[in-house]
Structure 1
């Protein structure tokens, strides 16, 4: 479980009276970039209090926040470091005092942003239609499961290299979610959620990652650079794990089937997120090796 921060988003038609209604929530973990936003799926209660012009202001604000979160997630997908800090949410809280207002940011403990939003909506926001929806398993939920697996297997923190960079040859680089080793990498682990609302770019991301793994498998000169700049050796036969959330729609299944061929060709072990504990157990065996 991880510490997240959240704020409720409120519509305040007349700031003089202070009457408001919660219309959504913003939540995030600044350390990992796992930010998310959700708004009520049925605005009938909001419309009883707010005018059309009030709603336009609210929708504009939510759209801008959503674009910022999308930008942050796109950076993560490219292997770049997230840049939305807790101060970003604090600034939103301080800067919006009219029709749109935010509650003061508070911490919440959750496994991922989707879990956090479910708890927040369950406690603070009335949204009958949204209450019955099934939350998707996000990549961040998968990463949390992998971290838990390493902790349960008592892998020393100094052996963890989250978001490390694999450099193959002179020009090929790729980020990996976890590289495990002490000077020599014994395991690479990547999380993939096929339960995404849109999978348009997922296939491209998997192919780009797999290209680097393929070059590594061909025994090209390679190394792993951790975020703190430390370098580790890596061999062509290193064990590579893919922890996944299985697809549920036809579009997701199509991408998954294509990815499965890539995983098989590159001798990558595929595990369901429910079996993530096995990743930690295998890492412990390899380190004892």
Structure 2
């Protein structure tokens, strides 16, 4: 069993960075970070618009920033708004030292802003690209996904839906990621496993190492330092299998002990003196 955190992030990160390796070789870290943010928007249901044709731009490639402009802008819409004159979401990327400043706006109002440190996030993204599965290295990649999702994607998605009278995202999926993780923590472990098959985002959330550490302590009461496993989900599965095995052994022992203690009783198959008569052929 591999690392569950690794498999959850691969839903979009590895696909993105394979394309970067082919088309963006030699680009600086801040551009890599821009593409990661762009990919998270696409993963959230947005569609990017080509700046010159207003048609949907496919793939994870983003245009080069002009030499005269310090800001790169990308427009996004939703599939239901493609053939309409509806407003769109605009992301503006600005480089400030080693940080990438991302502004998110709807109807021209810049009401969302993130500051992302390339030196923190890019090494983790590169580690994912190289098929790494260390939890420490993956932590920053997953944290980037969470920051962009909660800080930009969800509020802009909800705002765009409300302005154009579209159905809002499902209530549970519209909640902040921390709150969704806490709700998942209230479920039995078997139901958390079922939730992972609903969609890619829930697959990511149900693979949270913190969630499975919490479920491990809740179910088993204490940490087992001798237990193998590269992540808490795997440790939980191994410990749960060990617990089931112990229960099976206890049941078999109890049954065997009970059978040895019971007195031997002879039963009369014909109580009351009935006699079985076989007719001669």
- Specify the structure having the higher radius of gyration (Cα): 2
More strand by share: 1
Of Structure 1 and Structure 2, which has the larger fraction of its residues in helix?
2
